[in-house]
């Protein structure tokens, strides 16, 4: 099972990335734990300055832009 985190303070881009992750796992029946991290102190632990950030299994895959559904699906394969 994949571990997915979306890091961001709750801006529209962060929400879009989170929603795209949910849609991607639904459309392709992917088993994943999805966590939205909005706490600034928690985000600082990952040493990222630009959001949103998409992390899969502890690795930063996309940062600073909205991850598209098709991209997310490819990253989860």
Residue 61 annotated in active site: no
14 catalytic residue (yes or no): yes
Q: Going by DSSP bridges, is the β-strand pair 2-7/32-37 parallel, antiparallel, or unpaired? A: parallel
Dist. CA 28–CA 9, nearest whole Å: 27
Active-site option among 14, 24, 25, 37: 14
Q: Residues 45, 1: contact at Cβ < 8 Å?
A: no
Name the active-site residue from 2, 11, 33, 64.
Answer: 11
**Which residue numbers are catalytic?**
11, 14
């Amino acid at each position: 099972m994949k571990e997915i985190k979306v890091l961001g303070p709750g801006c529209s881009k962060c929400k879009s990335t989170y929603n795209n992750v949910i849609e991607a796992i639904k459309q392709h029946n992917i088993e994943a734990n999805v966590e939205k991290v909005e706490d600034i102190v928690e985000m600082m632990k990952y040493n990222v300055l630009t959001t949103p950030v998409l992390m899969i299994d502890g690795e930063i895959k996309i940062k600073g832009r909205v991850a598209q559904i098709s991209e997310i699906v490819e990253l989860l394969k």
